[in-house]
């Protein structure tokens, strides 16, 4: 049975920090013996954000912007690679927790987002073998989303930059400042 191991909160105020160069990292898990990793290979992620007729500032749509964030990570990864799968737009995730998904929603599995929370990543593992089995990313529909390069704006929120951050949580990274490092997440 899978268990929730990580909730990654990203507030609107912290979104301004996403453009800074960051060198620190920390693995989700109390000790190196408890780190849950993906098996080598691909991490299929169903992108359920829809393609529709919405064209964002940089010429992408919500789904292709998140796919570009995955490609950015893939260029840096070795034994694992994100495998984006474009599917029909939906705000629901798999109740059996067997499929990694990315959705827009007003809640996280029925729990409201906290004030100012842009996105949350929930990850599931098989604790007995330290294997990560699924991660879902929930983008808060209460915010105005776009995708653009250049100077970070307060509004609209750049979905690609937030996706880059949340995909780090999918890989097993947490906020370095939460574990005593001086790098600001």
Rounded to 5°, the CA angle 131-134-139 comes to: 140
Round to whole Å and give the CA distance between 79 and 16. 31
Round to whole Å and give the CA distance between 139 and 12. 12
* DSSP assigned state of 14: G
Residue range 8-29, pLDDT digits in tens: 333 333 333 333 333 344 444 5
Q: Are 119 and 169 in contact (CB under 8 A)?
A: no
Helix (H) or strand (E) holding 107: strand 107-108
Round to whole Å and give the CA distance between 62 and 51. 7
Round to whole Å and give the CA distance between 61 and 63. 6
Residue range 89-145, pLDDT digits in tens: 999 888 888 899 999 999 999 999 999 999 999 999 888 888 889 999 999 999 999
């Amino acid at each position: 049975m899978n268990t929730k191991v990580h909730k990654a909160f990203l507030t609107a105020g912290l979104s301004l920090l996403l453009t800074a160069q960051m060198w620190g990292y920390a693995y989700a898990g109390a000790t190196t013996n408890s780190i849950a990793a993906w098996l080598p290979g691909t991490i299929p992620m169903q992108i359920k954000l829809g393609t529709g007729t919405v064209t964002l500032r940089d010429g992408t749509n919500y789904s292709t912007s998140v796919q570009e964030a995955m490609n950015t990570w893939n260029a840096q990864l070795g034994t694992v690679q994100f495998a984006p799968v474009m599917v029909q737009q939906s705000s629901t995730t798999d109740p059996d927790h067997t499929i990694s998904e990315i959705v827009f929603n007003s809640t996280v599995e029925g729990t409201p987002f906290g004030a100012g929370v842009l996105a949350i990543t929930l990850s599931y593992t098989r604790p007995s073998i330290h294997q990560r089995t699924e991660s879902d990313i929930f983008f808060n529909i209460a915010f105005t989303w776009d995708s653009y390069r250049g100077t970070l704006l307060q509004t609209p929120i750049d979905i690609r930059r937030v996706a880059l951050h949340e995909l780090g949580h999918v890989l097993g990274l947490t906020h370095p400042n939460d574990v005593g490092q001086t790098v600001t997440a």
